[in-house]
Chains A and B, each alone.
Chain A
Amino acid sequence: MLHCLNSNASGNGGADMTLLQRQRAIIKFQQHNNNHHQGYSSSSSSSSSSVSVVQVKSCSPTCLADHDHYSIKPDTCAVPWPKLDNNFLMGFTSSPSGFPPPPPPPPPPPPFDLNSAISRTSSCPLPSLGDGKHTSPLNNKRKTDNPHNTKDVASDNKEKRVKVDAHHHTPTPVKKATQASGDDSNKDNSKTCQKPDYIHVRARRGQATDSHSLAERVRREKISERMKFLQDLVPGCNKITGKAGMLDEIINYVQSLQRQVEFLSMKLAAVNPRLDFNIDDLFAREVFPACAASFPAVGMSPDMANPASYLHFNSPPQIDAGINPQDISLRRSISAPVSMPETFLDSSCFTQSLPSSTWEGDFQNLYSVAFDQARAASFPSQLFTGLLEPNNLKMEMEM
């Protein structure tokens, strides 16, 4: 019964055997067990075999890589097998993750302790393999990492280890039975499933595995991640490396922005008398040509009110027909369904209004230019000159 599996393993080579082949071999092995053993062992094995068959077949392709890690071990540990046929199978069925919780374990707990112990000690011969696979650092770290279950940071190095960690964590109903082993990771497994707030971290290869240093590393990575975002945000920070210099730049930038806001607020306060009667019209003209439906939050009624006032202005045909196609384009933009996403509507409004008249295009360009260039410390004078044209038209329309 063992010989068939061993021959399979030796025939195909431990590394070359695919998971399916291995699984098939195990099923055959179980069938052998069913045929030859009677009583408790066979019933347990049959239940286990049925379970294992179900679970094995539902194995997802994403788990295959990790299953390879797991399944490599039994191949190499050919020696302890004769004692552990049933126990090994139970251990194997417990290791894959993402499966529905396996049926309640058989009464004797010690086999499970042996199970978990074996599934871990089976990793011992692996470093001697020297495959050059990434499994060896994985297993090196697994041993040392069991006492440490701290936060996790997603990184390429840790991807597979995160998955393996997940494999550890998800089959909690089985793991709860194995908690008698007193493994730290088991406790943390149950912790993680009850309180999913913990993030798990694995030590990278060649780095300290002390829990303090792990926590430090995660904290440092958090900080550096946020500094990177700030670097993108603050102009001129690309050349500066180091937290102190970056912080200097950030502080300067925030101060300059706040000063700009103060300056602008002074300016707005000085504008005062104009605001009383004109702000509605000016604002309508500013807002409306850009995009009619850009305020879905505000509701349709103010949008309807604005175009009404705007169209009112247009009815006296003071201006040439250049404006009328603009009217039509604007009406089209009103009737555009508001349910469309906002950003899409913005672009569509712009494209609709572009061919209509130069006035529209100029104003839209200036508006976007004002948005984009206002960041500059000096307010560009071209904005003022550019705005003269639409303002002329505005004044005409008011009359």
Chain B
Amino acid sequence: MSSLQSNADSTNSEPLQRSNPKKRRKIGHTNSPTLVPWRSDTQQRIYSSKLAHALRHVLRRNHPPPPAKSNTGREVRETADRVLAATAKGRTRWSRAILASPLNRWKLRRMHKKVRKAATGLAKRSPETRRRLPVVQKKARVLGRLVPGCRKLSFPNLLEEATDYISALEMQVRAMTALTELLTGGTSHASA
């Protein structure tokens, strides 16, 4: 873990390194876990406060809930993700991807899936061609699809982004759980 600490000081140079030509190997490539300590309580509180503020706006907008569409859940989720990405301060690729494309990321995903299914249905696959993609690479591709903005990323960078993303998601789950429990706990007793 000492290598993590040594990489922490090179975080500032990451944007610089990205501008360098790809031939150059980067010294002390930033290890994302040190960028934002997602496990610390303070980070969680920062996130919770920002989330609360953001959710207030969203829910006020949807307070007389339009009965036709029930997309409040999706909006909540998108705001939560965006607040998470904002808390990440844009140092990681997935946070930048979330912030850059707020327009119905999930809808686009569904469209992508439909297109892909249609395409693969037409192409004939013999059993030999399936073996061309080694198992690890297939899984790496799946992981790349899961982590936002990391589809065409090299394997080691993908693992880094995944590390940061996982710890960020864990913090998000913790914060949202606490928030819902506070709110639902309050509601149940106000009504009683």
Q: Which positions in A face B, CB cutoff 8 Å?
A: 151, 154, 195-199, 219, 222-223, 225-227, 229-230, 233-234, 243-244, 247-248, 250-251, 253-255, 257-258, 260-262, 264-269, 271-276, 278-279, 282-283, 286-287, 290-291, 294-295, 297-298, 342-343, 346, 367, 370-371, 374-375, 379, 383-384, 387-388, 391-392, 394-395
A residues near B24, Cβ cutoff 8 Å: 195, 197-198
B residues near A154, Cβ cutoff 8 Å: 3
B49:A272 contact, CB within 8 angstroms: no
A251:B142 contact, CB within 8 angstroms: yes
The residue of chain B having its C-beta at the shortest distance from the C-beta of A275 within the complex is B59
Q: A298 to B140, alpha carbons, bound, how many Å?
A: 39
The residue of chain A having its C-beta at the shortest distance from the C-beta of B191 within the complex is A274
Most buried by A among B25, B26, B142: B25
- CB within 8 A of B26: which of A197, A225, A243, A254? A197
A residues near B186, Cβ cutoff 8 Å: 274, 278, 282, 391, 394
- CB within 8 A of A233: which of B25, B59, B142, B163? B163
User: Taking the nearest CB of chain A, how far is it from the CB of B107, in angstroms?
Assistant: 15
B159:A295 contact, CB within 8 angstroms: no
B residues near A282, Cβ cutoff 8 Å: 182-183, 186
Query: Which are the 7 A-B pairs with shortest beta-carbon distances?
Result: A265-B77, A374-B177, A226-B159, A269-B72, A247-B139, A265-B76, A266-B73
A283:B49 contact, CB within 8 angstroms: yes
Interface majority SS (helix, strand, loop, mixed), chain A? helix
B residues near A283, Cβ cutoff 8 Å: 48-49, 52, 182
Contacts A227-B159, A250-B162 known; list 5 others, CB within 8 Å.
A197-B27, A222-B29, A257-B169, A269-B59, A274-B183
User: Taking the nearest CB of chain A, how far is it from the CB of B60, in angstroms?
Assistant: 6
Please count how many residues in chain B sit with their CB below 8 Å of the partner chain's CB atoms.
71
B residues near A266, Cβ cutoff 8 Å: 73, 76
Number of A-B contacts (CB under 8 A): 208
Most buried by B among A226, A248, A255, A295: A226
User: Taking the nearest CB of chain A, how far is it from the CB of B40, in angstroms?
Assistant: 7
Interface flags for B148-192 (1: CB within 8 Å of A; 0: not) read: 000000011001101101110110111011111111111101100
A residues near B142, Cβ cutoff 8 Å: 247, 251
User: Taking the nearest CB of chain B, how far is it from the CB of A299, in angstroms?
Assistant: 12
- CB within 8 A of A272: which of B65, B146, B159, B181? B65
A265-B176, A275-B59, A370-B178 known; A226-B189 Cβ under 8 A: no
- CB within 8 A of B63: which of A233, A247, A273, A343? A273
B180:A198 contact, CB within 8 angstroms: no
B49:A248 contact, CB within 8 angstroms: no
Q: Which positions in B face A, CB cutoff 8 Å?
A: 3-4, 17, 20, 24-27, 29, 31, 33, 40-42, 44-46, 48-49, 52, 55-56, 59-60, 62-63, 65, 72-77, 80-81, 135-136, 139-140, 142-143, 146-147, 155-156, 159-160, 162-163, 165-167, 169-170, 172-174, 176-187, 189-190
- CB within 8 A of B52: which of A225, A250, A279, A290? A279
A-B contact pairs, 30 of them (CB 8 A): A154-B3, A197-B24, A199-B27, A222-B29, A222-B156, A229-B4, A230-B159, A230-B162, A230-B163, A243-B136, A244-B136, A247-B139, A251-B143, A254-B166, A261-B81, A261-B172, A264-B177, A264-B180, A269-B73, A275-B60, A276-B56, A278-B186, A282-B183, A298-B46, A343-B42, A371-B44, A375-B173, A384-B181, A384-B185, A395-B190
A268:B180 contact, CB within 8 angstroms: yes
A residues near B167, Cβ cutoff 8 Å: 233
B177:A226 contact, CB within 8 angstroms: no
The residue of chain A having its C-beta at the shortest distance from the C-beta of B78 within the complex is A265
B45:A268 contact, CB within 8 angstroms: no
Q: A276 to B59, alpha carbons, bound, how many Å?
A: 8
Q: A388 to B46, alpha carbons, bound, how many Å?
A: 25
A251:B172 contact, CB within 8 angstroms: no
User: Taking the nearest CB of chain A, how far is it from the CB of B183, in angstroms?
Assistant: 5
B174:A261 contact, CB within 8 angstroms: no
Q: A275 to B4, alpha carbons, bound, how many Å?
A: 41
The residue of chain B having its C-beta at the shortest distance from the C-beta of A234 within the complex is B166
A residues near B176, Cβ cutoff 8 Å: 261, 264-265, 268
The residue of chain A having its C-beta at the shortest distance from the C-beta of B52 within the complex is A283
Q: A109 to B140, alpha carbons, bound, how many Å?
A: 55
A residues near B166, Cβ cutoff 8 Å: 230, 233-234, 250, 253-254, 257
Q: A295 to B47, alpha carbons, bound, how many Å?
A: 11
B residues near A199, Cβ cutoff 8 Å: 25, 27
B residues near A367, Cβ cutoff 8 Å: 178
User: Taking the nearest CB of chain A, how far is it from the CB of B92, in angstroms?
Assistant: 14
Most buried by B among A219, A225, A255, A275: A275
B62:A272 contact, CB within 8 angstroms: yes
A250-B162, A258-B169 known; A268-B76 Cβ under 8 A: yes
B183:A271 contact, CB within 8 angstroms: yes
Q: A374 to B45, alpha carbons, bound, how many Å?
A: 15
The residue of chain A having its C-beta at the shortest distance from the C-beta of B71 within the complex is A269
B residues near A261, Cβ cutoff 8 Å: 77, 80-81, 169, 172-173, 176
